[in-house]
A and B are shown apart, each in its own frame.
Chain A
């Protein structure tokens, strides 16, 4: 029991935000008379917030390295506008257009990364400039709107996986399969990593905690899957995109040399440089990556709007930054997880949706989201002061 308590204590922050998410969900579930968690609303939650989650992945890496990116909203508009132009004016196949959009995003990231990493201008300034530059360029290129996008492209955001296997009762079988694969994959990878740790006589979570974790996760995925399969569409395609990115980037941050270097540079830049880490290349890399992910977010946003819009992506940078800090990133860098950023994004998303269902005025919505951000970071600061490192 002691071991369990100690384990929980060490991961207080991580559980803290999960608990906060649950509290907020329950709160709105009650206030909206259960409407918040209608199956269609749950599906819509992901469709509406996919862009924040995608951007927050890249933003988390930028913040871990000790930087910030204020330009992502404008970059989303810029790359999204170009994507729409490629699709309509140049009649490009939609898959190729998507690929090029991501490449353009990466090029934008190279531009910003160059100034930050190799000229040494603080990222705050570079991306503030980028925010103006790319918004301006978008208006030049797009005008106000480029409409008439192909239906295949639009279904990236609004569509769901086709109902290949029919229904069981009201349940979409494809969705159930996806959920089932998810549960099994989670349990297997957790088990494998645990036994590998045990093989080296390393501390693992106590068995009850481990089983509890698997069981709780399985139940959550199970309920979620069941619920989603009741929705009119089944599994939204963006959910798969986001899911893939979460898994890929979590692996990258934890296991790749590049990911490790990001934490090293953010945690103690001097020590990293004196250990032979090329800090400039790390800085450059995270901005290129942020640009590419902004391209992905642009595809999702443009597909959802069904048009390239010059004002698209307004304030997206703030949503992404807020998600990261609510999700446990440290202002000083060196700390943060993809999972944290995702929960942060969900908290913001649930707030948005709950407040909208309750028809709260959008001015108040902003105020409330601001207070939540402040409270989350304040909690973090107080918590850190209490457990200050020696």
Chain B
């Protein structure tokens, strides 16, 4: 069954290898410059207040290579979110659906191989290939982007610059979680194909469900996998990050964040009694007299309430989430084998 599964998978494997190789060449030719720029920026020796060095590094990148590095940085993220979805739709969904659709399962199930082995071989071989492809891609992109990721983790002039590698937008395109995504997307595809018995609807369902998971997990699940840290500190009225006053005097004040590399889940300004501070603003904060506004704010004894995942949780979160996806994928795989065994042809 191994030989035959590989034979059936050959075309798809060649396509994947070609794409991976092209990507590897692109990253290998552009990556070393990032490493050099990072080294010459002096960031690796920096421990405190590295903002200026980060600025120098980022401007170095953009001067020499125009926007190609910025483009590649974002392209890498997009590709790593896209690849598991494509694996689910193009490797997972047709795996069994096409056999059911064309009737060839009736040929396969009458060779001297039990259905269990038939299903296990397909799931294991193509499933492992999916994980390997996503893992390789993530390894290449994580390596390429590591100077940028490190620089962002030091914190730029705006300490909370957003795209730290633990940030939801980047997290899924780094480290080992893409392996989990690929395994789950693949298992979803196979399951959808087995239940719907037709390739195209199964591909559509796989994409829809997987996109829903990609949106729900970072927003609903991930913040709570490890309970986030809280910090409540006095708000320095002279040093606030943003201040907006809406018509009607409603006011929002946001304090600065100095937690380099952290994923800030919420950053609220609360009153002494613990309520969310919403104003109303005094006339001082509407007019041009900034100092009057500052002293008025200082008199309110506001506090900053921060909910965040510190940068050090990147790897624990990666392992837990990957494990979660792998367990789900294995459960779906088991369901598929059970269904193939029970299926009435």
Do these two chains interact? no
Interface residues of A (CB under 8 A from B): none
